[in-house]
Structure formats: structure tokens, C-alpha cells
Amino acid sequence: MAGTRAAIRYAKAILDLAQTQKTAEAINEDMMLVSKSVSENQDLSDMLQSPMITSSDKKEALLAVFPKTNPMFSSLVDLLVTNKRVNILGDIASKYVELFEKAQNIEVANVTTAVPLSENLKKKVLAKVKELTSADKIEIKNTVDESILGGFILRVGDIQYNASIANQLNKLKREFTLN
């Protein structure tokens, strides 16, 4: 919990500084890379969390793994090493991306489908998102889950729209068991 609050504070500070320096978009690309790398690479995540690895070794490893990032990233790593907070780098990166998208009025639509999203279904999803929100830009992230059988489940912020076949079958099942 305390790590999450600290990650939000660091992310807000970085976003403010990046907006002042007009590098917010470049920093966002770096933070998306860092967030994705930390979440998908267990070795990198373990290295950041390990108390056995010194902060200077973590810094060296991070700068080697992410050599083409903005100079602000290396400054962030220096600051985190100094404050003994390198372990929350992944959280900071993901919070930065969230804050950047919110500042740019970009809405992220998480769409779960039984098969990869087709262009036709993508258009329907975009129309539904525009109906549900007032976002300027919409980014679609597709997850494939064969258990929903067909249709889609749409999550935008705290709104969920379930148009899956599995959901409709469950509704029918509940109706028959109640009658």
C-alpha cells in the first residue's frame, strides 16, 4: 500500500516535470516499455525486488536493459537508488502511463473476445466506447479468452459491458432454474 502511494507520487512528479519540459510523450513511451518489461519479465521483476542485489547493481542493470531511454529515466533511477525505492520502478512506470493517458483524455478500452478482434468488431467496440464515455482518443487492448464463447466483454474505466455468449447463456440458465 505504501509502495503504491509512493509510486503515484513519483509518477505525478515525473509527469509534471515532463510536461514542463515538453517531453511527456517521450517519457510515456519509455514508461510503457519499462512497465511492460517489468510485468512480463520475471527475472527483471525479481532483480528489482531482491534485497540481496545492491542498489548500484540494480541501477547498472536497469541502465543496461533500457539504454535508449530519455535522460529523465536515468535521473529517476538515480533518485530511486538514492531513496532506496528502486523496487517500485514498475509501479511508478504503470502509474505514469495511467496519469499520462488521463491527462491526454485517452480512454483505454480493455476488450476480451473469444477470437482476436476483427476490424468489424473493433468498429462496434469503438462505437460502444464512444457511447459510454466522452474520451477524445480511445486505445483498444484486446485479450483473447475462449471461455466467453463469442461476443465481447468491454471494460472502460469502472464501466463494464458484457456482450458475451457465455454471459447470455448464464442468464438463460438462471431464468430456467428460477422457474
State the average pLDDT over residues 131-144. 81
State the average pLDDT over residues 24-32. 93
Which pLDDT score, from 0 to 100, does residue 42 have?
94
CA-to-CA distance for 2 and 47, rounded, in angstroms?
20
Q: Are residues 109 and 97 in the same domain?
A: no
At 161, list the grid cell: 459491458
Give residue-wise pLDDT tens across range 86-111: 999 999 999 999 999 888 888 888 88
pLDDT above 90 as % of the chain: 49
Domain stop point among 75, 102, 129: 102
Does the pLDDT of residue 2 top 60, yes or no?
Answer: no
Give residue-wise pLDDT tens across range 35-63: 999 999 999 999 999 999 999 999 999 99
At 155, list the grid cell: 471494460
Give residue-wise pLDDT tens across range 162-177: 888 888 888 888 888 8
Domain stop point among 82, 102, 122: 102
Q: Are residues 109 and 98 in the same domain?
A: no
Q: Are residues 82 and 10 in the same domain?
A: yes
Whether the CB-CB separation of 88 and 7 falls below 8 Å is answered with: yes
Q: Give alpha helix (H) positions in 21-88.
A: 24-40, 42-49, 55-65, 71-82
Give the bridge partners for 160, in sequence order.
155
**Helix, strand, coil content of the chain in percent (nearest 5):** 65, 15, 20
Tell me the residue range of the domain where 57 lies. 2-102
CB-count exposure of residue 95 (10 Å: 0-12, 13-18, 19+)? buried
